[in-house]
Structure 1
Amino acid sequence: MSGSLEVRQFLLRYDGEAQGGSGLGGVPAQRAGHGEAPRISDDQVRRARLAVARGATDVDDCAELLDMLGLKPDQDGQPPVQR
């Protein structure tokens, strides 16, 4: 059992070094601003909606998940995730 613990510790150390040590325990640092964030394409939104629909238990669950993830269109017809 100690072997798997050693492997996990090694991977955590390696992951931290690969990220330049920027991050606490392998957690990436928050982005500085919205200008550097890549745009989410219409195809990505469509595929995300399909994935949510496949995993939802019913229509209400699907609608709630889409809303929580910013994939439900607003009044302008654009999902918040693409703003």
Structure 2
Amino acid sequence: MSGSVEVRQFLLRYEGEERGIRYGGVPTQRVGQETPRISDDQVRRARLAVAHGATGVEDCARLLDMLGLTPDESGCPPVQR
């Protein structure tokens, strides 16, 4: 039984390193890589998902604001900056 646990731990460690995640599930800092931009369609779909799961108007507004999906003064949501 301990052999299978060791194999699982090895695979978790190997898969984590391959994706840039250190053992323990903590992501490593991205050096020299640009963060991918969030498209308008992704923002629209995220807003719809939040609205679908919200319990009311105030809950929806609060969740959208917390997630950075509410447009600022320039009309751009913080998630797209």
Aligned length: 79
How big is the alpha-carbon RMSD for the aligned residues of Structure 1 and Structure 2? 2.6
**1:75 Cα deviation (Å)?**
1.1
**1:9 Cα deviation (Å)?**
2.9
Residues 3-62 of structure 1 show CA distances to partners (whole Å, capped at 9, x for unaligned) of 8x8275344223234336x524233213347x7011111101000100111111111111
The normalised TM-score by structure 1 is: 0.73
1:39 corresponds in structure 2 to 37
Matched, 1:18 2:18: yes
Partner AA of 2:27 in structure 1: P
The normalised TM-score by structure 2 is: 0.74
Q: Which runs of 5+ in 2 are unaligned?
A: none
Alignment of 1:59-78 (within 5 A): 59-78=57-76
